[in-house]
């Protein structure tokens, strides 16, 4: 394993800033994680789940047409979106749920925003036979019904959180509260590479399978990497994709953040690109946050629900500060254009989050030498975004579809009847 924190810190960022009631829980998790991550039986079981349940390894696909069209470096796509449940999040969920089981826990709780991490955790719990409760802001429960429905199908209880802005950060707070009260039986499966130690090390470690596979796939096929590009929300897919390459300075690392509709505060979710973010301590860790002078959360905005969290992995914040990772903002319309581009030219429907990385790669590729490769991490597939992309690309047809769907349900017609 590589690049573990120093007592939970990455330079000045990270840490374990938890209230006394959570101290025992995080300490127990810390010692268990560092124990099991070296345990042969644990790793062997994890490997079987990665292969048979997640569907690893995921392909590294040569984007041939894209490469020809751009005329620069060879463009490759790491197809994490082909993983079970449609994104990289399952890598972390299955790792943590298996660990919790080894620790003797009976119950898993998780926070979710758009519902992607909730779906992954729910699926992992169904597979490993664990009770699962997911906290989701009431606002998100209403607007993310397809994922709520999936979680319930997996047998998970979704609890709407009615405090604060009733979105992701409130769901995190509620999960922490539950964990503090129930840690003897319960593990809190946090969804990104952030939060108090040991979550950053743990989530990055479970996600590092992405980068390890890329390393091996490139070695087998003599692919000479120039640069890696990932989208950055909390930072879990980027951390796992980059981690095996952190120390190889010949490989450039690029993080694409949500540029939203523009550079003004409140119109994007840029913690590293731009100058709006501040150092702060929130939700158990020190990092860069979109907060105001009083430490209150700023509004964030992005077309992709997975990229609009106000904090970022403390390790990525540190690596951004030292210049190891270069961050840039990709706007909503650039991400949408990248979704179209890769669907038409490669037959690959990217998640809107991943499309931020893809859009950045489209700009970068022409300046990369022809004999070298630029690899995009396609963190997820775009099926989940049909409610967002369809109204953009074909508004009238989509409205018509929704109207008739409602009519069909109101009239109690079965799915085979014609309206
Ligand atoms: C959640 C999500 C992200 C953002 O989360 P990270 O922790 O930054 O990886 C990116 N892509 C997809 C498909 C997601 O579901």
Q: Could you report the per-residue pLDDT of 379-401, keeping only the tens digit for each?
A: 999 999 999 999 999 999 999 99
Residue 122 Rama label (left phi>0; alpha psi -120 to 50; beta): alpha
Burial class (CB in 10 A: 0-12, 13-18, 19+), 17: middle
Does residue 231 share a domain with residue 185?
no
Ligand 1 pocket residue status of 87, Cβ below 6 Å: yes
Per-residue pLDDT tens for 46-79? 999 999 999 999 999 999 999 999 999 999 999 9
Domain for residue 417, yes or no?
A: no
Query: Considering only CA atoms, which residue is closest to atom 3 of ligand 1?
Result: 306
Domain for residue 296, yes or no?
A: yes
| CA–centroid distance, residue 236 to ligand 1 (Å) | 7
Does residue 279 share a domain with residue 295?
yes
Query: Could you list the residue range(s) of the whole structural domain that residue 378 is in?
Result: 55-85+206-387
Does residue 109 share a domain with residue 72?
no
Among 174, 203, 232, residue at a domain's last position: 203
Domain for residue 311, yes or no?
A: yes
Please determine, for residue 269, whether its predicted confidence score (pLDDT) is greater than 50.
yes
pLDDT at 419: 57
Tokens of 119: 């779906």
Query: Considering only CA atoms, which residue is closest to atom 13 of ligand 1?
Result: 380
Beta 107-112 vs 131-137: how paired, if at all?
Answer: parallel
Does residue 326 share a domain with residue 230?
yes
Q: Which atom of ligand 1 lies nearest, measured to the CA of 86?
A: 13
DSSP designation for 299: P
pLDDT at 418: 64
- Contact (Cβ atoms closer than 8 angstroms) between residue 63 and residue 346: yes
| CA–centroid distance, residue 379 to ligand 1 (Å) | 6
Question: Which of 236, 270, 339, 376 to probe ligand 1 with, by most ligand atoms within 8 A of CB?
Answer: 236
Domain for residue 344, yes or no?
A: yes
Ligand 1 pocket residue status of 235, Cβ below 6 Å: yes
Domain for residue 419, yes or no?
A: no
Please determine, for residue 351, whether its predicted confidence score (pLDDT) is greater than 60.
yes
Domain for residue 4, yes or no?
A: no
Q: How confident is the model at residue 3 (pLDDT cuts 50, 70, 90)?
A: confident
Does residue 297 share a domain with residue 210?
yes
As annotated, the active-site residues are 89, 111, 379
Ligand 1 pocket residue status of 377, Cβ below 6 Å: no
Does residue 300 share a domain with residue 175?
no
Does residue 197 share a domain with residue 221?
no
pLDDT at 2: 54
Domain containing residue 227: CATH number? 3.40.50.1100
| CA–centroid distance, residue 237 to ligand 1 (Å) | 6
pLDDT at 146: 95
Query: Considering only CA atoms, which residue is closest to atom 2 of ligand 1?
Result: 306
Does residue 166 share a domain with residue 196?
yes
Does residue 94 share a domain with residue 44?
yes
Does residue 62 share a domain with residue 48?
no
Q: 0.85 exceeded by the pTM?
A: yes
Tokens of 184: 């003897």
Domain for residue 48, yes or no?
A: yes
| CA–centroid distance, residue 352 to ligand 1 (Å) | 10
Among 180, 203, 226, residue at a domain's last position: 203
Does residue 177 share a domain with residue 63?
no
- Contact (Cβ atoms closer than 8 angstroms) between residue 117 and residue 93: yes
Per-residue pLDDT tens for 230-256? 999 999 999 999 999 999 999 999 999
Rounded to an integer, the average pLDDT of 210-216 is 98
Q: How many domains is the chain partitioned into structurally?
A: 2
Radius of gyration in angstroms for the set of CA atoms belonging to the chain, rounded to a whole number? 21
Does residue 247 share a domain with residue 186?
no
Among 188, 203, 218, residue at a domain's last position: 203
* CA distance linking residue 203 with residue 240, whole number of Å: 8
Buried-exposed string 155-177: b where 16+ CB fall within 10 A, e elsewhere: ebebbbbeeeebbbbbbbbbbbe
In the chain, the percentage of residues whose pLDDT exceeds 90 is 95
| CA–centroid distance, residue 261 to ligand 1 (Å) | 19
Domain for residue 337, yes or no?
A: yes
């Amino acid at each position: 394993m590589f690049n573990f924190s120093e007592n939970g810190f990455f330079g000045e960022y990270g840490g374990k800033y938890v209230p006394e009631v959570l101290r025992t829980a995080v300490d127990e998790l810390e010692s268990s994680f560092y124990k099991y991550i070296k345990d042969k039986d644990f790793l062997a079981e994890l490997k079987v789940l990665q292969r048979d349940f997640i569907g690893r390894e995921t392909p590294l696909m040569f984007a041939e047409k894209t490469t020809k069209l751009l005329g620069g470096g060879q463009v490759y796509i790491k197809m994490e979106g082909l993983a079970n449940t449609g994104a990289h999040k399952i890598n972390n969920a299955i790792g943590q749920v298996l660990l919790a089981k080894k620790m003797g826990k009976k119950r898993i709780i998780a926070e979710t925003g758009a519902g992607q991490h909730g779906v992954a955790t729910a699926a992992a719990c169904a597979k490993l036979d664990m009770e699962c409760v997911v906290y989701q802001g009431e606002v998100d429960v209403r607007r993310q019904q397809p994922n709520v429905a999936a979680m319930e199908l997996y047998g998970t209880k979704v609890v709407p959180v009615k405090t604060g802005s009733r979105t992701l950060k409130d769901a995190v707070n509620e999960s922490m509260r539950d964990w503090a009260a129930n840690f003897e039986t319960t593990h809190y499966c946090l969804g990104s590479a952030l939060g108090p130690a040991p979550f950053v090390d743990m989530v990055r470690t479970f996600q590092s399978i992405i980068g390890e596979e890329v390393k091996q796939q490139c070695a087998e096929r003599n692919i000479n990497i120039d640069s890696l590009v990932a989208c950055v929300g909390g930072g879990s897919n980027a951390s796992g994709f980059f981690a095996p390459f952190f120390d190889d300075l010949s490989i450039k690392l690029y993080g694409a953040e949500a540029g939203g509709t523009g550079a003004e505060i409140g119109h994007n979710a840029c913690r590293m690109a731009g100058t709006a973010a501040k150092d702060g301590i929130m939700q158990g860790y020190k990092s860069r946050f979109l907060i105001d002078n009083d430490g209150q959360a700023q509004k964030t905005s992005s077309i992709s629900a997975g990229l609009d969290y106000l904090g970022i992995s403390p390790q990525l914040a540190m690596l951004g500060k030292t210049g190891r990772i270069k961050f840039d903002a990709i706007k909503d319309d650039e991400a949408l254009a990248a979704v179209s581009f890769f669907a038409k030219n490669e037959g690959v429907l990217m998640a809107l989050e991943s499309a931020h990385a893809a859009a950045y790669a489209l700009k970068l590729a022409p300046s990369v030498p022809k004999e070298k490769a630029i690899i995009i991490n396609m963190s997820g597939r775009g099926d989940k975004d049909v409610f967002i992309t369809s109204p953009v690309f074909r508004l009238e047809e989509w409205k018509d579809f929704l109207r008739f769907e409602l009519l069909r349900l109101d009239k109690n017609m079965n799915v085979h009847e014609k309206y």
